[in-house]
């Protein structure tokens, strides 16, 4: 029997991301593709390349755009993992950038922050989606969001580093603190953190900072470990390769746009604080978080905060707009969602870790809160 010819696929990346590469490579290995990955180390446009399919990450480089719109791409199945040029009709598998912003806002609000800002050194469609998702959640809750981008006079082609840094430090000093700042990605968040310390601001006490990508090369190499939204690059790469396979084999065409949700937030020291003014409420929130896996009563929490039950309940409602019981349930559900998303633990173990007395109780409460069972939630990720 003749051996089936091996598919040759080009990984055409305008910007390199190791997790995206890993997802594409995993699918390629499972289906015995020859993966042309030179652009991971040599950002040179492969003019004249011939093969069976292309997985791309397009960016603002005009030369790359010319290649992706050229004759090779017109005659070769192509899947793009970027939304930087949404006006170009192209099959895409991308992350939920608006959802990333929404998740960031929800996490900040849950921690009690009341002042907010957005920071980016990017000015493309993806950045706009993240900012819109962030601000729309805040607006619904009656909050404003300042932009730290406008004072920078930043131009991607002519970076005046000292001026950009100087302008950001000046803008940071003018903010009302404590303030929660959502940055476009981890690189922007790290730059922002450096400017915070230069401005004499403490992280997270004065400025809470949240990035995107959970990039191992960045998040643990800043003055304060950086919290980050887990953008699911690996799954995006894998699903993009699967969509390309459908195109190459002439099967039913995939939808023009597939959107992959983020995988929650990796919380580190840069946001690991309850930004409420009342010290006893802050102590109560920390106590709840530290003891989430066991049965908790208001009397025990009040004792840990140093207040009477009635006084703590009143202060808690004023600071968080939730009762103590509702906050315990919110924390338990949120932690359960993270475990469902990021682990393969059985439902029974997740119920135990999040303080539910048994799995049926967890199932019932989770369904009431999320409109779906824990198992369905995990399957739909």
What six digits make up the tokens of 149?
Answer: 């981008």
What six digits make up the tokens of 2?
Answer: 């003749």
| The pLDDT value given to residue 48 | 87
Are β-strands 92-95 and 53-57 bridged in parallel, bridged antiparallel, or unpaired? unpaired
Same domain for 206 and 289?
no
| The pLDDT value given to residue 2 | 47
Give the Å distances, CA to CA, from 185 to 3, 153, 166, 327, 372: 45, 19, 20, 29, 31
Nearest alpha carbon to residue 99 among 235, 231, 195: 231
Same domain for 135 and 22?
no
Same domain for 248 and 159?
no
Are β-strands 265-266 and 227-229 bridged in parallel, bridged antiparallel, or unpaired? antiparallel
Residue 188 forms part of a structural domain: yes
Residue 3 forms part of a structural domain: no
Q: Tens place of pLDDT for every residue, the chain, 381 residues? A: 445 678 999 999 988 889 999 999 999 999 999 999 998 888 788 888 899 999 999 988 888 988 988 867 678 999 999 998 888 889 999 999 999 999 999 999 988 899 999 999 888 899 999 999 999 999 999 999 999 986 454 555 556 778 888 989 999 999 999 999 999 999 999 999 999 999 999 999 999 999 999 999 999 999 999 999 999 999 999 999 999 999 999 878 889 999 999 988 999 999 988 877 788 988 998 899 889 999 999 999 999 999 999 999 999 888 888 899 998 998 899 889 888 877 889 999 999 999 998 889 999 999 999 899 999 888 876
Residue 241 forms part of a structural domain: yes
3-state secondary structure of 234: helix
Residue 266 forms part of a structural domain: no
Same domain for 220 and 119?
yes
Given a contact cutoff of 8 angstroms between Cβ atoms, the answer to whether 175 and 151 are in contact is no
CA–CA distance, 210 with 304 (Å, rounded to integer): 29
| The pLDDT value given to residue 198 | 96
The kind and range of the H/E element at 257 are strand 257-260
**What's the domain count of the chain?**
3
Same domain for 299 and 343?
yes
- CB proximity list for 219: less than 8 A, separation 6 or greater: 186, 211, 225, 226, 227, 228, 266, 268
3-state secondary structure of 73: helix
| The pLDDT value given to residue 150 | 60
Same domain for 190 and 111?
yes
Range of the domain at 319: 279-379
In this structure, the chain runs to a length of: 381
| The pLDDT value given to residue 1 | 45
Given a contact cutoff of 8 angstroms between Cβ atoms, the answer to whether 268 and 219 are in contact is yes
Residue 141 forms part of a structural domain: yes
Same domain for 127 and 249?
no
Same domain for 135 and 41?
no
| The pLDDT value given to residue 155 | 53
Alpha helices per DSSP H over the chain: 18-30, 62-68, 71-74, 97-110, 125-140, 161-173, 186-198, 216-219, 233-248, 279-290, 298-305, 309-320, 324-342, 347-353, 359-370, 374-379
Residue 268 forms part of a structural domain: no
Same domain for 121 and 66?
no
Q: Given the structure tokens 């303030």, which residue do they identify?
A: 179
Residue 272 forms part of a structural domain: no
Residue 273 forms part of a structural domain: no
Given a contact cutoff of 8 angstroms between Cβ atoms, the answer to whether 98 and 133 are in contact is yes
Q: What is the CATH number of the domain that holds 69?
A: 3.40.50.2300
Same domain for 108 and 212?
yes
Q: What is the CATH number of the domain that holds 335?
A: 1.10.10.60
Nearest alpha carbon to residue 292 among 320, 334, 350, 332: 332
Are β-strands 265-266 and 92-95 bridged in parallel, bridged antiparallel, or unpaired? unpaired
Same domain for 57 and 36?
yes
Same domain for 221 and 123?
yes
């Amino acid at each position: 029997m003749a051996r089936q010819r091996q598919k040759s696929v080009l990984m055409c990346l305008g910007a390199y991301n190791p997790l995206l590469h890993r997802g594409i490579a995993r699918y390629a290995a499972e289906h015995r593709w020859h993966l042309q990955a030179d652009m991971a180390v040599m950002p040179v446009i492969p003019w004249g390349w011939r093969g069976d399919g292309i997985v791309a990450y397009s960016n603002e480089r005009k030369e790359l755009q010319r290649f992706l719109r050229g004759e090779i791409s017109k005659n070769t199945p192509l899947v793009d993992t970027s939304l930087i040029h949404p006006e170009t009709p192209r099959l895409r598998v991308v992350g939920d950038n608006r959802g990333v912003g929404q998740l960031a806002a929800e996490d900040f609000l849950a921690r009690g922050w009341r002042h907010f800002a957005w920071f980016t050194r990017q000015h493309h469609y993806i950045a706009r989606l993240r900012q819109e998702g962030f601000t729309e959640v805040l607006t619904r809750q009656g909050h404003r969001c300042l932009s730290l981008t406008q004072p920078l006079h930043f131009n991607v082609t002519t970076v005046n580093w000292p001026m950009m840094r100087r302008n950001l430090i000046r803008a940071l000093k003018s903010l009302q603190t404590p303030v929660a700042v959502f940055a476009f990605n981890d690189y922007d968040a790290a730059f922002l953190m450096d400017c915070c310390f230069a401005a004499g601001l403490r992280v997270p006490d004065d400025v809470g900072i949240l990035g995107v990508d959970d990039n191992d090369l960045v998040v643990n190499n800043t003055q304060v470990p950086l919290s980050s939204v887990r953008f699911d690059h690996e799954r995006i790469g894998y699903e993009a390769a699967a969509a390309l396979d459908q195109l190459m084999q002439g099967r039913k065409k995939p939808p023009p746009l597939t959107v992959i949700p983020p995988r929650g937030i990796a919380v580190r020291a840069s946001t690991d604080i309850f930004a409420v003014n009342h010290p006893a409420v802050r102590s109560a929130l920390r106590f709840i978080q530290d003891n989430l896996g066991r049965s908790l009563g208001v009397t025990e929490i009040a004792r840990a905060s140093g207040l009477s039950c009635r006084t703590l309940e009143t202060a808690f409602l004023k600071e968080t707009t939730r009762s103590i019981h509702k906050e315990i349930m919110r924390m338990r559900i949120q932690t359960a969602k993270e475990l469902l998303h990021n682990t393969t633990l059985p439902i029974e173990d997740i119920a135990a870790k999040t303080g539910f007395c048994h799995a049926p109780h967890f199932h019932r409460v989770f369904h009431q809160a999320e409109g779906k069972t824990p198992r369905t939630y995990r399957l739909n990720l």
